[in-house]
Amino acid sequence: MTGIDKPELQALATIKDRITFVYVEHCKISRDNGAITVHDELGTKSIPAAMISTLLLGPGTDISHRAVELIGDAGVSIIWVGEHGVRFYASGRALTNHSTLLLQQAKYVSNEKLHIQVARKMYQLRFPDEDVSKLTMQQLRGREGSRVRRIYKQQSQKWKVEWKGRNYDPEAYETGDIVNKSLSAGNSCLYGIAHAVICALGCCPGLGFVHVGHELSFVYDIADLYKSEVTIPIAFEIAANNDIEDIGSETRRKVRDVLKNGQILDRMVHDIKWLLSDNFIEEDYKSTLYLWDNINGNKEHGILY
């Protein structure tokens, strides 16, 4: 069986128009032409591959080579989520064949002046009514720390849930309280979505500006922009409801709803382009391939010079 032809990039749905994520566990995953099929004891479900951004594979999943081939062609990120959803491994194909934003990212991250400029823009998104253009990284971190502590305190008071601080240990998940367990599960989903958007735009997940030194530094940078409105409120809401048996599943459902209603995918695309653009204009970059020339500028490819 050869299946359908590999789709052209132009035929695929853009990342901002896709479903945020689909989580599956204890099932077998294959493909039927352009759809991912999920089979478990309850039957078989089909998911159009080109309409999702991220596939979260929980414990007990078995995926075929043909399904992975389809997922790669459709530009979907695969996240292998560990037990309790606190670890993930991701891969995927960019939904673009130009390197405009990647070149901008590399330029900004490798120049100290431009690097701090992008970092300040990230903090500007957190403090829209304040001027942070003159603040140092140390001052920005202090302001952000105060903001996050204030958010935790507000949510704690709102839901009447005690907050003892962030306690995240992927090796000892069960030792955390309900808020910390929910935060871990929710943040894993948010990281997966950020990773999918970054890869879809052709950027590098490892070239971060606030976070550095890790293969997912830029993922953490982008995800942090939305935690205060997505995962933190959800974690305290879940903790206030003591009769929830499966904290991870309930967290994922609520995160999925907030991501959809808040148009987070669309906002992530916009924010990344704004962060990595000198003069931001919302546009679809032209797909091109050039030969580099340090004297005369880029030259057309495909010509025998």
Q: Tell me: the pLDDT tens digits for 94-142?
A: 667 678 899 999 999 999 999 999 999 999 999 988 899 899 999 999 9
Q: Is the dihedral of CA 93, 36, 34, 191 positive or negative?
A: negative
Is the pLDDT higher at 10 or at 298? 298
290 to each of 284, 287, 300, 303, how far by Cα in Å? 18, 10, 5, 10
- What's residue 284's pLDDT? 53
Percent composition of the chain: helix, strand, coil (DSSP 3-state, to 5): 45, 15, 40
Average pLDDT of the chain, as a whole number: 86
Q: Find the DSSP H helices in the chain.
A: 65-73, 100-109, 112-126, 137-159, 178-200, 217-223, 231-240, 247-261, 264-275
Tell me: pLDDT of 8 over 70: no
Question: What amino acid is encoded at 76 in this protein?
Answer: V
Q: Which residues contact 47 (CB under 8 A, 6 or more apart)?
A: 22, 35, 36, 37, 38
State the CB neighbour count (10 A cutoff) for residue 291.
Answer: 11
Residues 74, 7: contact at Cβ < 8 Å? yes
Tell me: pLDDT of 224 over 50: yes
pLDDT tier for residue 11 given thresholds of 50, 70 and 90: very low
At 160, list the tokens: 């009447």
Question: Please, what's the b/e burial string for 112-150 (b: 16 or more CB within 10 A of its CB; e: otherwise)?
Answer: eeebbebbbbbbbebeeeeebeebeeeebeebbeeebee
- What's residue 1's pLDDT? 43
Question: What amino acid is encoded at 157 in this protein?
Answer: Q
Domains contained in the chain, CATH given:
9-91 (3.100.10.20), 100-275 (1.20.120.920)
Tell me: pLDDT of 45 over 60: yes
Q: Tell me the β-bridge partners of 213.
A: none
Q: How far apart are the first and last CA of the chain?
A: 43
Q: Is 305 exposed, middle or buried (0-12, 13-18, 19+ CB in 10 A)?
A: exposed
pLDDT tier for residue 86 given thresholds of 50, 70 and 90: low
**For the CA atoms of the chain, what is the radius of gyration?**
21
Question: Rounded to whole angstroms, how far apart are CA atoms 222 and 225?
Answer: 6
**pTM for the whole structure:** 0.77
CA 53 to chain centre: 9
Mean per-residue pLDDT, 164-180: 82
